Amino acid sequence: MKQLTPLAQDYIGRFDTALQSLPGHDNPGITALRKSGLETFSKLDFPNHRIEEWRFTNLNALTKGITDDVLAEPIARSEAFDAHIIFTLVNGQIDLGNSVLDNLPEGMRLTSLATELAKGRTELLETEAAENRSVVALNTAFMEDGFVLELDENVKVDAPILIRFVSNGGSPTNARHLRNIVHLGAGAEATLVEEHVSNGGHAYFSNPMTKISLEEGAKLHHYRLQNESKTAFHLSMVDCDIKDGAFYDNFTLSLGARLSRNEISADILGSGATCALNGAYLMRDKQHCDTTTLTRHLVPENDSRQIYKGVLDGESRGIFQGKIHIAEDAQQVAGDQLSKALLLSDRATVACKPELEIYADDVKCSHGATSGELDEDALFYMQSRGIQEDEARKILITAFLTDVIDEIETEAVRTYFAKIATDWLEGV
């Protein structure tokens, strides 16, 4: 048998000890679940480039083992997003001092996974399917904590709910395996804003997994900011089940991490349901950002759409893999996908792999992928009016991002993300 990667060996070696202190350790069901996760992970190891879905993202730098020796300059934080409900996790543990949870509307619960498991709510994890995704299996084995958001039927929460995942240096394993659970009852509505940020330039492995289920007619805006330390690894997964008439939209703004992968898997299980996956990634230096989506239309009459836009500077690399699967009986389905990348340097690269897997015949699908450089003619035109070149470049990059940022329906979030993008541009 092939030798496991050093990091996998490390995880397997310390599993038994870790188990004693992980949430739910006194619950046989959860322990069994973790063990099965570890078993799967031990068989699979971390994904390598021979696995089709991981062809473009090489985890070698992670799997040889992280050392917390690289301290880049701290990330300049944009003015924080102003929210009334805040749930903060620091190094994978809930930080109540920096959370605001006393004003929750009736019918809404926002707690930590560890707390819920301690209460014996093992059903939260019962939907866990047999997994062949090794990073998910690893997360199952080692999940520490996370947030649990539950909305009862028809509960509509207007104010954005902010979840902050903060990483500081100094935790012994430098890894955060987070498991988050979101359940919206029929007709419930919420806006969820996740921030993945760090204080300082520590190297660490951030591995958040979020499981979302939306009952009939529920509506969730899910906005994510990935602004991890520039030396960190970020492998995130979002799994979402969308029932009849429900609406899910996800916007992920990625600008941090040395290597990041943003994996979203949406199952459309109802008619009249809509799934919109959008995002922007802004990369420089040697950053690597992978966006991998799987949208499965499993029943008739629903639609999905995707727009991802990337701005790549330095020697950075962007990956977009988007698969739309339409099951045999899923007639009258529409699926659109667009991926665009703007290359600001000769050494920046992008790889796009759109995939349509269609087994129904009455469907409308489209996909497009483009990459290009800034329009020289437009740059000269602006300069000829007195606008300096760097300013002109910023205007053009902002314009490139405008339509995808406009997909963010919640104004406060749109403004916040636009500001972060503008701040990023100061470094171009």
Partner 1 sequence: MLEIKDLHAEVGGKEILKGLNLTINAGEIHAIMGPNGAGKSTLSYVLAGRDGYEVTKGSVLYKGQDLLDFSPDERANMGIFLAFQYPVEIPGVASATFFKTAYNAQRKYRGEQEVDAMEFLKLIREKTNELGIKDDMLKRPVNVGFSGGEKKRNEVLQMALLEPDLMLLDETDSGLDIDALKIAADGVNRLRSPERAGLVITHYQRLLDYIVPDFVHVLADGRIVKSGDKSLALELEEKGYTEMSAA
- Give the total of residues touching partner 1 (CB under 8 A): 23
Does 402 participate in binding partner 1 (rule CB under 8 A)? yes
Per DSSP, helices labelled H in 109-232 are: 113-118, 134-142
- Site stretch for partner 1 (CB under 8 A), options 83-91, 224-232, 397-405, 418-426: 397-405
* SS3 assignment, position 134: helix
- Site stretch for partner 1 (CB under 8 A), options 11-19, 92-100, 353-361, 382-390: 382-390
> Of 100 and 387, which has the nearer Cβ to partner 1?
387
* Complete edge-to-edge strand list for the sheet that includes strand 288-297: 108-112, 147-151, 175-184, 205-214, 233-242, 259-268, 288-297, 317-326, 349-358
Shortest Å distance, C-beta 161 to partner 1:
31
Shortest Å distance, C-beta 300 to partner 1:
36
* SS3 assignment, position 162: strand
* SS3 assignment, position 14: helix
Does 389 participate in binding partner 1 (rule CB under 8 A)? yes
Which contiguous run of DSSP H or E holds residue 110?
Answer: strand 108-112
Shortest Å distance, C-beta 394 to partner 1:
10
Does 388 participate in binding partner 1 (rule CB under 8 A)? yes
List the interface residues with partner 1, window 127-156 (CB under 8 A): none
Beta strands (DSSP E) in 269-313 are 274-283, 288-297, 302-312
Place of tokens 């012994």: 172
Whole-angstrom CA distances from 358 to 268, 332, 335 are 14, 12, 10
Does 411 participate in binding partner 1 (rule CB under 8 A)? no
Does 387 participate in binding partner 1 (rule CB under 8 A)? yes
Applying CB under 8 A, among 403, 415, 419, 427 the residue interacting with partner 1 is: 403
Shortest Å distance, C-beta 393 to partner 1:
12
> Of 2 and 385, which has the nearer Cβ to partner 1?
385
List the interface residues with partner 1, window 352-381 (CB under 8 A): 375-378, 380-381
- Site stretch for partner 1 (CB under 8 A), options 196-204, 249-257, 296-304, 389-397: 389-397
Does 186 participate in binding partner 1 (rule CB under 8 A)? no
Shortest Å distance, C-beta 392 to partner 1:
8
**What angle, 0 to 180 degrees and rounded to 10, lies between the N-to-C axes of helices 6-19 and 28-44?**
170
Tokens of 61: 């730098």
Does 346 participate in binding partner 1 (rule CB under 8 A)? no
Q: Are 365 and 331 in contact (CB under 8 A)?
A: no
Does 415 participate in binding partner 1 (rule CB under 8 A)? no
Does 400 participate in binding partner 1 (rule CB under 8 A)? yes
Q: Are 123 and 161 in contact (CB under 8 A)?
A: no
Residues lying near partner 1 in the complex (CB under 8 A)? 375-378, 380-389, 391-392, 395-396, 398-400, 402-403
